[in-house]
Structure formats: structure tokens, C-alpha cells
Structure 1
């Protein structure tokens, strides 16, 4: 998870696209085969969730900063 904190948002979104594609290939690539590493799919889903968590946390932080800087009209 700490790796994702260090990356920029653009890098995170690129990594997210790669992980989602890898998960898609994992799910549909070996449709007929029974011998595959299910841990790989679990790890991909976990990494996707971690990336989305970091992206959403950054977006929420930006929204809070904008609200804090916005003057209140009384």
C-alpha cells in the first residue's frame, strides 16, 4: 500500500488500468482450464482496491481543501 502513496495520481490511474486488464485476462483467459492460481486473482483484486482507496482519499482531500479555501458568503 505504501507504494501507491508515493505515486502520482496519473501513475495510479495507469496502474489501475493495467491491473484491471490483468484481472480480466485472468478471469476469461483460462476459461476452460481448472489449474490456475486463485491467489493471483485475489491479489489483483486487493491491489485494485488499494489503488482505488488511495485515489478516492486524494479526491476527498482535494474537495476538503477547496471547501476550506472557499469564502463563506453570509
Structure 2
């Protein structure tokens, strides 16, 4: 599942998706222990999906993502202002 899709889910949908992915992961692990080696890539993908879902859930609990998003959106503005100042200084020196 893509990160943007996960971030757009509500808290209840996020919990539901995490439960579904965990259940699928359990079933694939069980099948693998019985000797069925198909779906190894899917197993890896599910592990990553579960980790992403848990990470975003934890970010929401801590309120981390909101602050980081604000800082990230402010960075390009700061970089542009610094670049303008540098070009102005360089133009004055010439």
C-alpha cells in the first residue's frame, strides 16, 4: 500500500488495515512453515506494509507528523530566501 494512501486513512480505517495485513502475514508465515514457498515477495511486502501502518499510527499518537509537515513546508521558503539574498550579494559585488 502506498504511503499517501495510508496517510489519507482515518484512524479506524488505519486500525482495520493493520489488522488485515497482520492476519495475511500470519497466514503466509503459516503456509511457509508448511513448505509452501510461494509468495515470498508478498511476505516481504506485507511486513513493510504492517510496519508503515504501525509507524503512521504511532506518528498520529505522538503528533509528530503535523510538526514535521509544517517544518518541511517552511524549508523550501527559507531556502529560496537565502538563495535570493546570495544572488543579491553577488550582484552588488560585481
- TM superposition outliers: structure 1 runs of 4+ over 4 Å: none
Structure with larger Rg: 2
Higher relative contact order (CA 8 A, sep 6+): 1
Structure 2: state its 5+ residue gaps: 65-94
Structure 1: state its 5+ residue gaps: 63-74
What root-mean-square deviation, in Å, do the aligned CA atoms of Structure 1 and Structure 2 show?
Answer: 1.5
Structure with the largest fraction of helix: 2
**So what's the TM-score if we normalise by structure 2?**
0.61
**So what's the TM-score if we normalise by structure 1?**
0.76
